[in-house]
Amino acid sequence: MNCVWNLVGDFMDYDKLAEKRDLLNENMNLFSKELLNNYQNDFDINFTHESAAIEGNTLTLMETKLLLEDKISVSGKDLREIYEVVNHNKAWKFAENNIKNCLDLDENLIKTFHKILMENIMDGGVYRDADVKITGAKHSPPSRFILSYELKDFYNTLSSNNFNGIELVAYTHGEFVKIHPFFDGNGRLSRILMNYQLVKNKFLPITIKNYEKLNYYDVLDEYAVNNNLKPFVQLLYELEEEQLDFYLKQIKSKIK
């Protein structure tokens, strides 16, 4: 593998971000259970909506809320779009339960996530057996003939590496979507894996918004084409710091 290691130090202060994370975790008791549930429900709906929208799903945020939170059916939408939203929410909740059980990401877990994402859409958890192209991307995913080798390297790196918390998140997402191991669902799954690694490392989950997707695609392409993970690390760092600052602002107001 040709990854660039120890990426953050020269342009971001990872220790500063980790300090914010630790400060938040030490003061989580200042939030009521009801408020934390409110924040989590808001995140879950927005995360599902934005992740599906990036892939072309046309459900609005309000329609996503009605479907997931209020359990109200949405008319006039393709059934596949409904399943994409419902399945994404189920897969993320399943991921959260596995984080609570301290499970590391591995092949079996990732295949299970994909099965949940693809329920009622296609057979999930099965690697592609043909070459694919990603429309608009500057790179081509590896041929089916070397797919197994790329995946083996990916899973080995997940279990043994020198990345810090944010670098690991960027690598997990960037390498997975670069390999593109499934025929469909790779983007949505990669963002679930991204948040899995964040929460497992005691950070907050983040949402990449649909209106930011051009920059998001650009930094993913930069890694896929030039093996440069720095721009993606930068993006994730900024999104994570924004989330942490929101919670820390609430803590500061409570202490006052």
pLDDT in tens, 141-181: 999 999 999 999 999 999 999 999 999 999 999 999 999 99
Condensed to tens digits (0 to 9), the pLDDT of residues 199-209 reads 999 999 999 99
For 9, counting Cβ atoms within 10 Å of its Cβ (0-12 exposed, 13-18 middle, 19+ buried), the class is exposed
Q: Give me the half-sphere count of Cα atoms (radius 13 Å) on the Cβ side of residue 115.
A: 9
State the DSSP code for 173: H
* Residue 3, pLDDT above cutoff 50: no
State both tokens at 129.
Answer: 């057996």
* CATH value at residue 228: 1.10.3290.10
Q: Is the pLDDT of residue 7 over 50?
A: no
Number of domains in the chain: 1
In a domain, 5, yes or no: no
Structure-model confidence comparison of residues 6 and 164, the more confident one: 164
Name the residue range of residue 217's domain: 14-255
If one compares 141 and 253, the residue with the highest pLDDT of the two is 141
Q: What percent of the chain has pLDDT over 70?
A: 95
- Give the Cα-Cα-Cα angle 25, 176, 39 (nearest 5 degrees): 30
Q: Who's near 115: CB < 8 A, 6+ residues apart?
A: 124, 125
CB under 8 Å to 159, separation ≥6 — which residues?
104, 106
pLDDT of residue 137: 81
- Identify the DSSP state of 119: T
Task: Report yes or no on 147 lying in a domain.
Answer: yes
Q: Categorize the per-residue pLDDT at 256 as very low, low, confident or very high, splitting at 50, 70 and 90.
A: low
Task: Judge whether 1 lies within some domain.
Answer: no
- Kindly tell me the sign of the dihedral angle through the C-alpha atoms of 12, 14, 18, 21: positive
The burial of 15, by beta-carbon neighbours within 10 Å (0-12 exposed, 13-18 middle, 19 or more buried), is given as: exposed
Q: Which residue has the tokens 């909506």?
A: 49
CA nearest 182: which of 208, 147, 210? 147
In a domain, 123, yes or no: yes
**Please, which pLDDT band fits residue 213 given cuts at 50, 70 and 90?**
very high
In a domain, 50, yes or no: yes
pLDDT per residue over 116-150, tens digit each?
999 999 999 999 999 998 888 888 999 999 999 99
Residue 6 lies in a domain: no
